[in-house]
Amino acid sequence: MIQLEVITGNYKREMALPANFPMRILVVKEANGSLHMNSGDYDLLNGRIFFIPEEGLVRLEGEIKIAYWLTFSSIIYSEFLLQHLDPLAKNLFMKLSYQDLDDNGSKKTYSLLMQLQKEIDAKKDVAYLSQYLSLFLGYTANLDGYLAALTLDELQQVLRFRAILEQFYKQERSINFYADGMGISPRKLNLFLDKVLGKSLSALIKDRIMREAEELLIHADYSIDEIAEILGFERTSNFTTAFRRYKGMSVNQFTLQE
């Protein structure tokens, strides 16, 4: 599903970088040389992160003192697309693009990668790794501008919250439950969510439930009653009322337009 490798050494462009999964990112920490693809040649600059399209071989030429080669499956990537509906996110891997990180951004990126490796080694589940990758892409591609202002500790706190929310949003609504999972008081969690994500816990849970409802209505063969049960509603009427208030249309109207 996801693999992270540290690469070093001298590379000749005759040999392509192997990739076990279709989505590919190269993070350059220290290197001299160039990256070659059919679309063109690109300098390997310190602090440069490449978002590489699925098509085409990646060839390096030069000395790589240290870089990170991250590859992952489309399933892992799908959570990022669900959270980022704007065209910039959808086009991120359509053609080769890159970002040049400043010193502070580079340090955060390398720290996030090292933590990601620990999570991979710990065999965290797909939902957790998807949340991690979504945050990593949002930060490094500069699609979530608010993340740039966060400290590394705050970035890790956002990740932890997202992972807990992803696992329990269907069953748990209590601020105390999520605060316990974060290891902080309910008051501090409320302040953190308001400062960093700009929403209350109840709003974030509602957003996640309704996003899942849309996915199930579009892509699954469940009945409305079954979807209501899956999402933790005691009655189908509670689900349909909540959906109408959130989307401004009934469940039937939504399914007809899709």
Tens of pLDDT, residue by residue over 1-38, are 899 999 999 999 888 999 989 999 999 999 999 999 98
CA distance 36 to 96: 11
Indicate whether 257 pLDDT > 90. Answer: no
Q: What are the pLDDT digits (tens) for 52-102? A: 998 889 999 999 999 999 999 998 998 888 888 788 888 999 999 999 999
pLDDT at 258: 62
Contact 19, 83 (CB under 8 A): no
- Please state the rounded mean pLDDT for residues 165-179: 93
pLDDT at 55: 82
- Please state the rounded mean pLDDT for residues 150-160: 89
pLDDT at 255: 87
| Per-residue pLDDT band at 242 (split at 50, 70, 90) | very high
pLDDT at 89: 87
Enumerate the H helices of the chain as residue ranges.
74-83, 87-90, 103-121, 126-140, 152-168, 175-182, 186-196, 201-219, 224-230, 236-247, 251-257
Indicate whether 48 pLDDT > 80. Answer: yes
CA distance 24 to 26: 7
| Single pTM value for the model | 0.84
Higher pLDDT, 139 or 258: 139
